[in-house]
Amino acid sequence: MSAQDTTRINLLCRVIRRDIVKATTVAKSGHLSSSLSAVELMATLFFDAHLRYDTKDPLYIGNDRVIFSKGHASPLLYALWRAAGVISEKELLTFRSIESPLEGHPTSRFPFADASTGSLGQGLSIGMGMAMYSQRYLSESFHTYVLLGDSELSEGSNWEAIQSAPYNEVKNLTAIVDVNRLGQRGETMLGYDLENYAQRFSSFGWKTIVLSDGHSLRDISHAYTQARLAAKPVVILAKTVKGKGISFIEDRDGWHGVPLKEDQARRALAEIDAPNEALGTIATPPKNVKFIVRSRKAAFRITVPPRDAAPRSMYGMTANQLFRTTPSLVALDAEVSNSTYAYPIAHTYPDRFFEMFIAEQHMVSMAVGLALRNMHPLVSTFASFLTRAHDQIRMARYNNVAITFIGIHAGVSIGQDGVSQMGLEDLAMMRSIPDAVIFYPSDAVAAQKSHKASKRV
């Protein structure tokens, strides 16, 4: 990183900090301090030629992807895109107003938010879904960057993603952990023990990069260069200061989700001392990236289910027929493919099947990531265990994506296995998801028709 680049990005960091202060002060709410700790981490990613993103075309399939798993740092996200020149100051200052696409936590209403977040611990799985999409189905892989808070690492769902990525040999995924030590109401369990975080990630098979100063542009830039070259998933563990850049809130409790009052904002802006205008440039992605999915003839095909066939037995064979003509279909299963009858898909379409092991939360969020990249995931497990991912299913809806959930052993039909295995609560859960279409087939014929119909929902 040249001295010139350092100066340039330093200026951008000031502009970004100013915009974060302005947006949250005008909105009278929002997560100022949590945004400030990650300014250098994200400004370097965006404006030092690490991120490759066609700012004219956020939907372009060859773009890298950036997910704010710590969705409450949305002021930073919007300030970054403001610095990239895609939104105006006026638009920025609509932050958190009711008609604005710049919501308190990022949603798909803002086209540059690569995922809707806000329930913590889901971004890494979503990012892995995107990373695997690009690794498996694109002529050239893009890179996925996920910004996480240190507090949210306590969500078990993160560890499902952390165990899954190396197992699946994901090579184009970088997690950036903004270790600012402070959660909502006090210190995290590990505080600034970055080495322990590194041990944990490392024991799960990740390459770890520890930044003892998460505000050093040079160190950050070097980390991103290493991350893109690595042959396994990478975590950058960065020691940062919550509220960085505003002396009277730095590293202090009591400032989580608290904006500055107007007089405080004036003091802060004087400290930040940003230039009037400075725009950064984002590197361009490779051109003409292509979507490539192989189609295969299903190994077997039946039209009329045998009499007395279990409804669940229709899944894999019906899906295999659909897969042939619909390249966007993929399937994920939680280590029960011999119960859900997902196994014919694994057999016929191994490159469109994902064995997710017993990790329903990760399975659903990874499906969200795949769906955000235009795939249509079919997600299967016991109906009862879909409740494990209720929060993720809820967030799938707010990501505005099409996913088919296949829950088996609905109702009391599993009998002797007992109530823990019975899908008794799943119907109420799915009915509470806005616009969900629910099929409840009572026999194999209805099940087969349901699978076919669900593709069109």
Q: Does 163 bind its own copies (CB under 8 A)?
A: yes
Mutual orientation of helices 39-47 and 217-229 as an angle, nearest 10°?
Answer: 60
Q: Does 420 bind its own copies (CB under 8 A)?
A: yes
The one segment of 6-14, 153-161, 217-225, 372-380 that binds its own copies by CB under 8 A: 153-161
Strand 234-239 relative to strand 353-355, pairing: unpaired
Closest CB to its own copies among 42 and 359?
Answer: 359
Q: Does 313 bind its own copies (CB under 8 A)?
A: no
H/E element, 329: strand 329-333
Collapsing DSSP states into helix, strand and coil, what is residue 234? Answer: strand
Inter-CA distances, 453 with 139, 359, 404, 423, 447, Å: 31, 27, 11, 22, 10
Query: Which one among 99, 416, 435, 456 touches its own copies, defined by CB under 8 A?
Result: 416
Return the beta strands (E) in 342-451 as ranges: 353-355, 376-382, 404-408
Pick from 247, 290, 284: which is nearest to 268 by CA?
247
Pick from 98, 115, 82: which is nearest to 90 by CA?
82
Q: Does 132 bind its own copies (CB under 8 A)?
A: no
Q: Does 208 bind its own copies (CB under 8 A)?
A: no
Q: Does 71 bind its own copies (CB under 8 A)?
A: yes
Q: Does 59 bind its own copies (CB under 8 A)?
A: no
Query: Which one among 13, 21, 27, 93 touches its own copies, defined by CB under 8 A?
Result: 27
C-alpha 105/C-alpha 126 separation (Å) is 16
Total residues contacting its own copies (rule CB under 8 A)?
A: 71
Residue 266 CB, shortest distance to its own copies, in Å, is: 23
- Residue 56 neighbours by CB under 8 Å, 6+ apart: none
Mutual orientation of helices 3-27 and 39-47 as an angle, nearest 10°?
Answer: 120
- What residue has token string 């971004």? 123
- Of residues 421-440, those binding its own copies (CB under 8 A): 421, 424-425, 427-429, 431-433
Tokens of 118: 């806000």
Q: Does 120 bind its own copies (CB under 8 A)?
A: yes
Closest CB to its own copies among 142 and 197?
Answer: 197
- Of residues 353-412, those binding its own copies (CB under 8 A): 357-359, 361-362, 384-385, 387-388, 390-391, 394-395, 398
Site string for its own copies, 167-196 (x = CB under 8 A): x---------------xxx--xx------x
Residue at 38: amino acid letter: A
Query: Which one among 52, 136, 200, 252 touches its own copies, defined by CB under 8 A?
Result: 200
C-alpha 46/C-alpha 79 separation (Å) is 11
Closest CB to its own copies among 139 and 184?
Answer: 184
Inter-CA distances, 160 with 154, 233, 239, 300, 365, Å: 12, 14, 24, 34, 11
Q: Does 114 bind its own copies (CB under 8 A)?
A: no
Residue 333 CB, shortest distance to its own copies, in Å, is: 9
Query: Which one among 117, 144, 348, 450 touches its own copies, defined by CB under 8 A?
Result: 117
Q: Does 152 bind its own copies (CB under 8 A)?
A: yes
Q: Does 347 bind its own copies (CB under 8 A)?
A: no
C-alpha 166/C-alpha 203 separation (Å) is 11
Q: Does 107 bind its own copies (CB under 8 A)?
A: yes
Closest CB to its own copies among 212 and 432?
Answer: 432
- What residue has token string 């967030």? 395
CA angle (317 as vertex; 315, 323 as ends), nearest 5: 95
Q: Are 378 and 320 in contact (CB under 8 A)?
A: no
Query: Which one among 7, 88, 139, 203 touches its own copies, defined by CB under 8 A?
Result: 203
Closest CB to its own copies among 5 and 391?
Answer: 391
| Residue 360 annotated among the catalytic residues of the structure | yes
The one segment of 48-56, 159-167, 299-307, 437-445 that binds its own copies by CB under 8 A: 159-167
Please identify which of the residues 40, 103, 152, 360 carries the catalytic annotation: 360
Q: Which residues are catalytic?
A: 360
